[in-house]
Every structure is written in structure tokens, then in C-alpha cells.
């Protein structure tokens, strides 16, 4: 939502509150029992105005917080990527490295899909995988997948090739696919550029960590639901109506109080 639209929505809500205030000021021309009706109408007008005009602005609050964090220098965002081993990761690395705001790109691990292991097969892979390649930093065997963590400067294609060579030697077949887990670190100010760059290649970050995402998450957690926010706006309408109802009593009382205070100072 652009600034002009936000200003228009705020002005329209304020106009509605002026209308509610005017209704409250008509209390002296109404029977006392009609005050409840005035408050109900004020609540409905406040709730409707909040739902139509303030709620869209309220929903933009996380984006406003994110924009503020993006403007802060030296902030970093970490993007966790799940990539297909069929893509040209070297070309992707080269493209990302040449983009302003790049900090680092690391192929962290690969996940190789397998069949559903029985207990004997699971135990066998638990014992043997660590001996296939010394560049396997760590590994984890699930019921149907093998996840291998990679040493620094060791690529996913090298890891997949070494595992595939061993697999062909033992089972007589090849493995040509794995899911590559990569970690991309960028300047917060350039996050949108990198997200767009990745999206053009059909890549969406699995998760993002950093000041921007943390601020957005904290803001989302602290925000009211749309229903709660609408009820609060209805309550604002009631408060404005009450001020209008008792304004004729409050203003003279305030003037008497100021006069009393001034007289006391003079003494």
C-alpha cells in the first residue's frame, strides 16, 4: 500500500470519528435512554471504519518494520536454499557472487533419496557411509534418505559423484539426483534483489534468518488478529462518542479548574 492511500484511509476514518463525535454532542436533544443507542451506533461505525480503513494499514505494519531494518547498514540475512542437483550450481554461485550485497554462498549438505530401509539396511548404511569419502563432514540416515554434511570447499556435485561411484560398485546402479542444501548470506539492504534473482530461477528460500525476518516475526506475533483490531476500533468509536456526549460538561469544568489554579497562584 502506498503512502497516499494510507493517508486517504486515515483521513476517512478521522471523518467518521468526527461524525461519531457530532452524534454524541446531540445527546442533550435526546432522551437519556437513547444514550445506549448512540454508543451502539458509535461502536458499529468505529468497527466498520476500522475494518475498511485502518485494518489494511495495520496489516502493512510488518512491511514497514522490514523496510526500516533494510535501511540499517551492516545487517545480514541468511537464506537457506533447497536446490535440485540438476541445476548448474556453479553458474548460480557465479551469478550470486557478482550481485551487489553478496556476502557468502556455501553448499552445506545433500540429501539423497533412497528406498525404505529395513533395519539391516539401515544399520549397514550407518556403518559404511562415513567411510565412502573423508570429505563427508557428518551424515544422518533416516528411514528412506541419506543426508550428508559437506566439508568446506567440497561441492555437492563431488559428494554426489563419490557416493554414486560407491553405490554403482556395490549395487551395480547409479544415483544421479540429490537435493542440495545451500546457505546464502547477503546484506539486508539487498535482500529483495537476491530474492528476485532466485525467483527468476524458480528458487524460493526455505527459510530466512536475520534482523529483517526476526523483526517481521516478532511484529506478527505481537499483532492483534483482524477481529480483535476491529473490536478495538469499535471501542475507539465508543470513546469518541462519550467525549462528545460529555463535552458540554467537561469544557466548563476544565475552565473552572484553570481559573481556580490561576487564582491560587496569584495568592
Instruction: Determine the pLDDT at residue 66.
Output: 84
Per-residue pLDDT for 259 more than 80?
no
Rounded to whole angstroms, the Cα distance separating 30 from 32 reads: 6
Instruction: Determine the pLDDT at residue 260.
Output: 59
**Percent of the chain surpassing pLDDT 90:** 65
Give the full edge-to-edge strand order of the sheet including 145-150: 136-141, 145-150, 102-113, 179-187, 76-84, 207-209
Pull the grid cell for residue 255: 475552565
- pTM (whole model) above 0.75: no
Instruction: Determine the pLDDT at residue 33.
Output: 73
Lowest mean pLDDT, pick from 25-29, 38-42, 200-204, 239-243:
25-29
Name the H helices within 172-200: 191-199
**CB atoms closer than 10 angstroms to residue 160:** 19
More confident call, 28 vs 142? 142
Instruction: Determine the pLDDT at residue 72.
Output: 78
Instruction: Determine the pLDDT at residue 105.
Output: 96
Angle between helices 226-266 and 3-25 (to 10 degrees): 60
Phi, psi of 133 (to 5 degrees): -150, 130
Q: Which helix (H) or strand (E) holds 139?
A: strand 136-141
Instruction: Determine the pLDDT at residue 247.
Output: 80
On whether the CB atoms of residues 238 and 42 are closer than 8 A, the answer is yes
Lowest mean pLDDT, pick from 54-68, 192-206, 227-241:
54-68
Rounded to whole angstroms, the Cα distance separating 7 from 163 reads: 60
Instruction: Determine the pLDDT at residue 30.
Output: 73
Mean pLDDT of 100-116: 94
Mean pLDDT (the chain, rounded): 89
Amino acid at each position: 500500500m502506498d503512502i497516499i492511500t494510507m493517508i486517504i484511509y486515515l483521513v476517512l476514518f478521522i471523518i467518521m470519528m468526527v461524525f461519531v463525535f457530532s452524534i454524541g454532542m446531540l445527546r442533550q436533544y435526546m432522551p437519556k435512554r437513547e444514550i445506549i443507542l448512540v454508543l451502539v451506533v458509535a461502536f458499529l461505525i468505529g468497527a466498520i471504519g476500522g475494518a475498511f480503513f485502518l485494518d489494511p494499514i495495520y496489516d502493512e505494519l510488518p512491511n514497514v518494520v522490514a523496510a526500516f531494518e533494510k535501511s540499517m547498514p551492516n545487517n545480514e540475512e541468511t537464506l537457506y536454499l533447497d536446490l535440485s542437483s540438476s541445476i548448474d550450481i556453479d553458474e548460480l554461485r557465479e551469478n550470486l557472487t557478482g550481485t551487489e550485497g553478496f556476502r557468502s554462498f556455501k553448499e552445506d549438505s545433500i540429501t539423497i533419496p533412497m528406498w525404505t530401509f529395513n533395519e539391516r539396511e539401515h544399520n549397514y548404511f550407518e556403518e559404511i557411509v562415513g567411510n565412502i569419502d573423508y570429505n563427508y563432514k557428518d551424515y544422518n540416515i533416516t528411514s528412506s534418505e541419506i543426508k550428508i554434511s559437506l566439508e568446506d570447499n567440497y561441492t555437492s556435485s563431488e559428494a554426489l559423484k563419490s557416493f554414486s561411484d560407491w553405490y554403482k560398485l556395490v549395487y551395480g546402479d547409479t544415483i544421479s539426483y540429490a537435493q542440495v542444501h545451500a546457505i546464502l548470506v547477503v546484506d539486508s539492504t539487498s535482500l529483495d534483489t537476491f530474492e528476485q534473482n532466485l525467483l527468476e530461477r524458480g528458487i524460493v528460500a526455505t527459510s530466512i534468518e536475520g534482523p529483517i525476518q526476526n523483526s517481521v516475526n516478532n511484529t506478527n506475533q505481537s499483532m492483534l488478529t483482524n477481529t480483535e483490531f476491529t473490536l478495538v476500533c469499535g471501542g475507539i468509536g465508543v470513546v469518541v462518542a462519550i467525549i462528545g456526549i460529555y463535552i458540554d460538561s467537561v469544557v466548563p469544568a476544565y475552565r473552572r479548574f484553570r481559573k481556580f489554579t490561576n487564582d491560587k497562584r496569584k495568592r
